[in-house]
Amino acid sequence: MNCGTDPARLKIAGMSSDRIIQIERDILGRNNTMAADNRARFLADDLLVFNLVSSPGAGKTSLLVRAISELKKSRPVGVIEGDQQTSNDAERVRATGVPAVQINTGKGCHLDAAMVGEAYRRLPPLKDGILFIENVGNLVCPAAFDLGEACKIVVLSTTEGEDKPLKYPDMFAASALMLINKIDLAPVLDFDPAQTIEYARRVNPKIEVLTVSARNGEGFAAFYAWIRKQAAHQKRRA
């Protein structure tokens, strides 16, 4: 203890401990770390993972139910369902014989990587298979949260109008594939797919596009071909 210290100076020294700390940390850092863990686990299990996003009611579950009924014939398939409430969607999936885990986010408007990591542990082994994650119906928040997927698939239905990619650009920027669903309704609605595609490519010049109908199966052969291409791509990188 230095007895010569001026108490007044000590006080000032104390005050100058108001300090500026540089930290430079990503706000989503924790989610991104967990997403990286999920991604490593999925790769180790040779699992191809898609994160389906759309506004409420665009037809994610209908698309899934049709697609998994076909895909399960050739490989293991699993589904993680995200909704604020109810397990309706998981039940629709289970009715096809495919295992599904329901996540209820309550007030939360998106899935995060921790929820998906936990849900994945509750699924049976899906080695060499495909996992679909159906995100909460919301064209905004899920764009920000990496879940560890190979890529995001954005579903846009013809009833929503052509300009959704301009109104909610982040989601279209974050997605590798846009599925234009309910194409069976396009004639009644005067929906112009070419216009939507042009808007989506303003936001994301590289986005791939397929038009489908979960109702009558139109376009699904091309969707399966796209999935096979992604599977081959992942194998090459592994």
Partner 1 sequence: MHEMALCQGIIEIVEEEARRRSFSKVRTVCLEIGALSHAAPEAMKFCFEAAAAQTIADGAVLEIEKLPGLAWCMACSRSVEIGQRAEPCPCCGSYQLHVTAGEEMRVKQLEVD
Ligand X SMILES: Nc1nc2c(ncn2[C@@H]2O[C@H](COP(=O)(O)OP(=O)(O)OP(=O)(O)O)[C@@H](O)[C@H]2O)c(=O)[nH]1
- Least distance from C-beta 100 to Mg ion, angstroms? 11
For 56-165, strand residue ranges (E) read 77-83, 100-104, 130-134, 151-157
Q: Which of 1, 6, 7, 25 binds partner 1 (CB under 8 A)?
A: 25
* Cα–Cα distance for residue pair 96/61, rounded to 1 Å: 12
Strands 100-104 and 151-157: unpaired
- Looking at residues 123 to 152 of the shown chain, list those that interact with ligand X (rule: CB under 6 A): 137
- Least distance from C-beta 140 to Zn ion, angstroms? 6
- Least distance from C-beta 37 to ligand X, angstroms? 26
Residue 24 engages partner 1 in binding (rule: CB under 8 A): yes
Residue 55 engages Mg ion in binding (rule: CB under 5 A): no
Q: List, edge to edge, every strand of the sheet that includes 48-54.
A: 100-104, 77-83, 130-134, 48-54, 151-157, 175-181, 208-211
Tokens of 105: 């986010």
Question: Binding residues for Mg ion, how many (CB under 5 A)?
Answer: 3
Q: Is 128 helix (H, G, I), strand (E, B) or coil?
A: coil
Q: Which of 61, 158, 204, 230 binds Mg ion (CB under 5 A)?
A: 61
- Least distance from C-beta 29 to Mg ion, angstroms? 30
DSSP 8-state code for residue 178: E
Tokens of 31: 């989610």
Q: Kindly indicate which of the ranges 33-41, 83-91, 113-121, 148-156 contains the residues binding Mg ion, using the contact rule CB under 5 A.
A: 83-91
Q: Which is nearer to Zn ion, 75 or 201 (CB)?
A: 201
Residue whose pair of structure tokens reads 């399960």 in the numeric block: 72
Q: Kindly indicate which of the ranges 6-14, 39-47, 178-186, 198-206 contains the residues binding ligand X, using the contact rule CB under 6 A.
A: 178-186
